[in-house]
Amino acid sequence: MKLARIPLAGRLRADQMVRNSVYLMLSSGLQALLGFAFWVVVARLYKTTEVGGASSLISATTVIAYLALFGLNSTLVRFLPTAGNRDALITAGLLVVAGGGAVIGLGYVLLTPVIAPKLAFVDHRLLLAAGFVVLTAAASVNLLTDSVFIASRRAVFCAVTDGIVGGTSKILAAVVLAGAAAYGVFAASTGGFAFSAGVSVVLIFTVLRWRPKLTNPVRTLRPLLRFSTANYAGNVLNLLPVLIVPLIVYDRLGPEEAAYYFVAYQIATLLYSAAYAVGQSFLAEGSQAGADRRALRKRSRKALVVLYLPGVAAVVLAAHLVLAVFGPSYSRHGATALVLLALGAIPIAACNWSWTALRLSSHLRAIVLSSAVYMIAICGLAWYLAPHGLTALAAAWPLGALLAAVVSSVAVAVLRNVPPRHRRVAGDANAAGDEEEWPPASWFRPEKPEVKKGRQRTR
């Protein structure tokens, strides 16, 4: 029976991709809801200056956590379903990401007197510095465990850990740490990441039956290094507009316009996360052994339309009412910007879908190229349009994303039946003799356990 003929409830049970997408969207919704409650509690228990200082530390932790992934989030979703030694791959990923988060976090602490003098109090006290490093590493691990759940078709755990556990724990921590000034707000917020990471690791161990395997992480990940590097470059390029555009708004339009933009963008981010959810689910299903990727492409496009467009339409129609919750000035000055940011969700969804298709076919250069177009177009247009006001600047998102969507969509169409240059199929007589199969076929075969025979070990 075709999925189109199955009722919606039955379709959610039958279609793994749609179900995982819904769970990831639920996770984003819970995080947004409980995150809003967290900031309401913080606003009542802490001074405004303390909240301002904490927001900078929280932003730094979030950026460092994403940087510390090194592209392994996409790598695990892409290759974990067919990996021969999944325990070694998960272990290596967790070690590399946790270590990367700790090292980059320590570097940030040591540089705070130079790059953020007002936050130098963290560097001056060993306990605060150690806490920042540990919590940043935990935030990095939490992001990677989400990829493990998605690859294992257990995205429901993302809603449980990130949404319920993380959201609830940081609200409780905000109450417990009241009086601890800016660092208390920071510790409460990032403590939610740490609780979520801890519960995630326990679930991976108990439910997914992962057993840590302490082999050489570099050797384990080496066959996937090229894929991870390309995705890391693409992810960083995609992250840059999120960091740069607010700076352009603040520098060229002033703090009030920056506040209107910030609130509007936070609402639009919920729409963007829905596109990410469908893309990640599409990647996970397309990476399963024997997956029909052509059928998955069609289903994922339909899922985007069904799950995505109603939300975009709702935000566009209710922009004034949504922003009125924050005050009449937000509704008056930021509603049109919110409409444009919401409309930008459509080409952003197209970009995410195309990047997923390119990841499945391992066309890595196309991912980096289209991501570079995405970053340059959005940031460049934001800078150029800023003198014309917030509404004009907000148009940089739909226009820049549309250009990137055209480039990435053309790449998918042109490269659909073209094997990537860095990969050949084993046994292909037409493959270039000097190119190696990537990843090697042996990487997907499970390792045979060692068996002791007297004093000898054989495999």
Model confidence at 392: pLDDT above 80: yes
Q: Do 83 and 127 touch, CB atoms closer than 8 A? A: no
**336: confidence class by pLDDT, cuts 50, 70, 90:** very high
The pLDDT value given to residue 457: 47
**117: confidence class by pLDDT, cuts 50, 70, 90:** low
The pLDDT value given to residue 128: 82
pLDDT digit string (tens) for 399-453?
999 999 999 999 998 887 666 665 543 333 333 333 444 565 555 555 555 454 5
Residues 316, 194 share a domain: no
Mean pLDDT (whole number) for 345-365: 90
Residues 109, 248 share a domain: no
Model confidence at 131: pLDDT above 70: yes
CA–CA distance from 154 to each of 150, 157, 213, 296 (Å)?
A: 6, 6, 22, 18
Residues 369, 275 share a domain: yes
Spatial distance between the Cα atoms of 125 and 129, rounded to a whole number of angstroms: 6
Residues 390, 242 share a domain: yes
Residue that is last in its domain, among 191, 215, 239: 215
Percentage of the chain beyond pLDDT 70 is 85
Q: At what angle do helices 72-79 and 255-286 cross, to 10 degrees?
A: 20
Spatial distance between the Cα atoms of 403 and 354, rounded to a whole number of angstroms: 13
Domain presence at residue 313: yes
Q: Which domain holds residue 18?
A: 14-215
Which comes out higher in pLDDT, residue 105 or 305? 105
The pLDDT value given to residue 261: 85
pLDDT digit string (tens) for 36-92?
888 778 878 888 777 767 777 887 888 889 899 998 988 898 888 888 788 889 999
Question: What is the residue whose two structure tokens read 């996970």?
Answer: 284
The pLDDT value given to residue 298: 83
Least confident piece of the model among 8-17, 27-36, 254-263, 282-291: 8-17
Domain presence at residue 442: no
- Residue 458 phi/psi, 5-degree rounding, is -125, 160
Which comes out higher in pLDDT, residue 23 or 144? 144
Task: Tell me the two tokens of residue 434.
Answer: 């000097």
Task: Tell me the two tokens of residue 429.
Answer: 């007589």
Q: Do 378 and 405 touch, CB atoms closer than 8 A? A: no
For residue 261, what is the enclosing H or E element?
helix 255-286
Residues 196, 114 share a domain: yes
pLDDT digit string (tens) for 367-383?
999 999 999 999 999 99
Q: Distance between terminal CA atoms of the chain? A: 45
Mean pLDDT (whole number) for 155-179: 90
Residues 245, 203 share a domain: no
Residues 191, 67 share a domain: yes
Q: Do 106 and 130 touch, CB atoms closer than 8 A? A: no
Residues 298, 205 share a domain: no
Task: Provide the mean pLDDT of the chain.
Answer: 82
**271: confidence class by pLDDT, cuts 50, 70, 90:** confident
Residues 318, 228 share a domain: yes
Provide the Cα torsion 409, 415, 419, 420; round to 10°: -60
Residues 351, 229 share a domain: yes
**35: confidence class by pLDDT, cuts 50, 70, 90:** confident
Residues 332, 250 share a domain: yes
Residues 332, 304 share a domain: yes
**3: confidence class by pLDDT, cuts 50, 70, 90:** very low
